[in-house]
A and B are shown apart, each in its own frame.
Chain A
């Protein structure tokens, strides 16, 4: 999967809020678009964003991998099982309105994935945390977003160890569904109870680092923001609002 890719593109240098606003605008605009042409314009916008960030190849590749299963299911559900009129293509016939709908739905998912993968690849987690701290975002929110990602590998490793240990003790992972549901307890209980037992220790560790201290926190290296970037973020908000206004006007008409 894609993660942060270091670089010096305009998106890498932009304030993290600007990059996230661009991805957010793609997300909200995607649900306002109801025609294949407009949705695919949004997919192109997502690709242009990836090209601006210098991550076109990796973003497009991952977006395709992620959206291909969705495309396959869409073509079965809407193309093959859709309503008449149908279009024959060799031995198979497809639903014409179904294909149009599949293009909208699939394009929506592809555009959103492409937009956010680009944001993920061009936004340094460190800069995002610094930007949030500089904006006075409470410590708890930055802690949850940044610190949980560091806890996950440890939890995964522990889950794997428990799985192996219980199998060594004779726990069978196969059998009927009921037997497998019963096996959940011996696997999940040690994992969760072990983690719960460590809570106090972690609270203490955070406390001695001053996490409970109130008042504003100082960001050591806050990413620079600028008036044009702030204007762009407001512009994106207006653009999304306009897209929804257009959608609801068409629905009434």
Chain B
């Protein structure tokens, strides 16, 4: 990895960890904690994006103190690979295709996170997702279905907004700045 890639990975990690502050101010029912990973995937490529995702997961655990969610690092790797492929296909060039790619990413991410949540933590992870699971369970849904539904519902919205936001960022990049990222030109 070059020094530039390293600095961009650090930026991606910082974005992943800080964007929650903006999301909390807007009281949005999403996390957007993968925006930095998706951005690095589009600007640099899969290797840097995987690094950004894994470092984000570790540092998020260090900062929150909750290390139990480290197994979800696998999801970060999958997101990085998917986002890199989507960027290579040029899906972040238009908002419409970016949101569609985000919905696809939501499906993929939920398909990875729901089994981890169900088998390792019995469906009880943190915050909003578990509340949705509990409501669905109280309505009579079997636990596996409740966990999967909650994961899909939250991830679809979260990743669609995240990919849409990355598309807006890439389109807003001044041409002189965009020219410095060869992956973007591809």
Contacts and interface: CB of A to CB of B under 8 A. Distances in A.
Interface string A173-196: 110010011011101110111011
A242 interface: no
B126 A184 contact: no
Interface stretch (B1-9, B86-94, B100-108): B1-9
B134 interface: yes
Contacts of B39: 192
B134 A105 contact: no
Contacts of A180: 26-28
A87 interface: no
B168 interface: yes
Contact of B10 (A27, A151, A184): A151
B29 A177 contact: yes
B69 to A, nearest CB: 9
B75 interface: no
A17 interface: no
Contacts of B165: 184-185, 188
Contact of B1 (A112, A140, A155, A177): A140
Contact of B13 (A70, A144, A212): A144
Interface stretch (A37-45, A198-206, A243-251): A198-206
Indicate the member of A70, A149, A199 with the most B CB atoms within 10 Å: A199
B120 A1 contact: no
A48 interface: no
Interface stretch (A156-164, A218-226, A232-240): A156-164
A181 B126 contact: no
Interface residues of A, number: 65
Contacts of B153: none
Nearest to B176: A197
A116 interface: yes
Given A77-B133, A185-B168, A152 B124 contact: no
A105 to B, nearest CB: 4
Interface in B1-44: 1-4, 6-11, 13-15, 17-19, 21-23, 25-29, 35, 39
A21 interface: no
B11 A195 contact: yes
A93 B51 CA distance: 48
Given A81-B137, A147-B10, A159-B22, A109 B121 contact: yes
A228 interface: no
Contact of B3 (A1, A102, A203): A203
A62 B177 contact: no
B61 to A, nearest CB: 7
21 contacts: A2-B65, A27-B67, A66-B64, A81-B138, A113-B67, A116-B65, A117-B65, A144-B10, A149-B63, A151-B10, A152-B18, A180-B26, A185-B168, A188-B169, A191-B15, A193-B169, A193-B172, A195-B11, A199-B11, A206-B7, A212-B2
